[in-house]
Amino acid sequence: MVTPQREPLGVMNAWTWAREFKQGDAPRGGVLESVRWVESYERIAEQAGELPGTRHVCIGDRESDILALLVMARKMNHAADYLVRCQHNRVLPEGGKLWDGVMASAPLGRIRFEMPAGRGRKARAVEQEVRAQRVMLPDRQGGQLEVTCLIASEVNAPAGTKPVVWRLLTNRVASTLAAAVELIDWYRARWEIELFFLVLKEGCRVERLQLSDVGRLQTALALYMVIAWRINRLMRLGRTLPDLPADLLFEPDEWRAAFILNKKPVPRQTPTLNTVVRLIAQRGGFLGRKHDGEPGARTIWLGMQEIAIFVEGARYARQFNDG
């Protein structure tokens, strides 16, 4: 779960499954993978019912662009909103294609933001023209679904660069630029989920686990998901709330270890969160120069590995001395 301000709140639901082996050209057996998106929406909608004062939004990538999810949202009276990236350029009941119809409408305006580096691309400024239209889509059950299709398409993209185009479907109405920008900001916050899985797969190396049964694997995954959430939360809060006392997110042994390992005097007063996060990241390769900005998840998780080993050794040493 992530707030619109991109603060990771934790993992509310996890669904695990294993793909069936595929035999030649025959369809793969087992549960359809699309089912996980529908079940994820159901869990989010159920939680929304328990927290009526909080808006819940199910955000998904292109794989979640399935009618079953939209139909389920309607069935549950849109207890939670949905915002999914379009994969299918659907045919409209009155004829024509969905994306063409939206692009033919007048733009609501333009937005500008900084696209972070990732997946082989450098960080750069992006300017998009935003359009949104309320449309009816066939639900394949003899009825229709009323949805908003929002398209944010980059203008004046640098030469040799693929323009950034986002086509989104949502139950929310976006008749103004401000409403559309809110939806786009929600979608951009999905990057935090990508970072979560980056830490889970590359930092925690969960795909390399070799445990004897599914139960043990799921137990390990539950633990590693908490670790991945913590790493991302440290990174985000270290940037957005840098002056928080470090002891709100670190044990005293942890933040003291960050100073000791970097050969710096341990302060008597509790340092700020940003100070400790940067020291930890330096153990993971972050150089900390003026133009380097703030550390990312990778250097923080590498640094936290050293911190964890150091703290464990220090605690054993205390037991040894006490004995």
Domain boundary among 139, 160, 189: 189
Q: What is the CATH number of the domain that holds 67?
A: 3.90.350.10
Residue range 189-237, pLDDT digits in tens: 988 998 999 999 999 999 999 988 889 999 999 999 999 999 999 999 9
Please determine, for residue 29, whether its predicted confidence score (pLDDT) is greater than 70.
no
* Residue (of 278, 169, 225, 206) closest to 9 by Cα position: 225
In terms of Cα–Cα distance, which of 54, 55, 18, 60 is closest to 38?
60
Q: HEC states along the chain?
A: CECCCCCECCCCCCCCCCCCCCCCCCCCCCCCCCHHHHHHHHHHHHHHHHCCCCCCEEEECHHHCCHHHHHHHHHCCCCCEEEEECCCCCECCCCCEHHHHHHCCCCCEEEEEEECCECCECCEEEEEEEEEEEEEEECCCCCEEEEEEEEEEECCCCCCCCCCEEEEEECCCCCCHHHHHHHHHHHHCCHHHHHHHHHHHHHCCHHHCCCCCHHHHHHHHHHHHHHHHHHHHHHHHHHHCCCCEHHHCCCHHHHHHHHHHCCCCCCCCCCEHHHHHHHHHHHCCCCCCHHHCCCCHHHHHHHHHHHHHHHHHHHHHHHHHHC
Question: What local confidence, expressed as pLDDT, does residue 290 receive?
Answer: 82
pLDDT of residue 34: 78
Q: Looking at residue 12, what is its pLDDT?
A: 87
Query: Sorting pLDDT into bands at 50, 70 and 90, what band is 30?
Result: low
How do residues 3-24 score in pLDDT, each as one tens digit? 999 999 999 888 887 777 777 7
Q: According to the model, what pLDDT value does residue 20 have?
A: 76
Of the listed ranges 61-75, 111-125, 153-167, 242-256, the one predicted with least confidence: 111-125
* pTM across the whole model: 0.85
Is residue 243 very low, low, confident or very high in pLDDT (cuts 50, 70, 90)? very high
Residue ending a domain, among 156, 173, 189, is: 189
Q: Is residue 24 domain-resident? A: no
- Beta bridge partners of residue 145, listed in sequence order: 137
185 and 66 both lie in a single domain: yes
Identify whether residues 279 and 172 lie together within a single domain.
Answer: no
Do 120 and 228 lie in one domain? The reply is: no
Which range has the worst mean pLDDT, 42-46, 200-204, 275-279, 286-290? 286-290
Same domain, 109 and 61: yes
Q: Residue 31: its pLDDT value, please?
A: 66
Report pLDDT digits (tens) over 40-94: 999 999 999 999 999 999 999 999 999 999 999 999 999 999 999 999 999 998 8
With respect to residue 26, please indicate whether it lies within any of the assigned structural domains.
no
Among 189, 205, 240, residue at a domain's last position: 189
Instruction: Name the residue range of residue 256's domain.
Output: 196-322
At residue 321, the pLDDT reads: 74
Mean pLDDT throughout 24-35?
A: 71
Whether 142 and 94 map to the same domain: the answer is yes
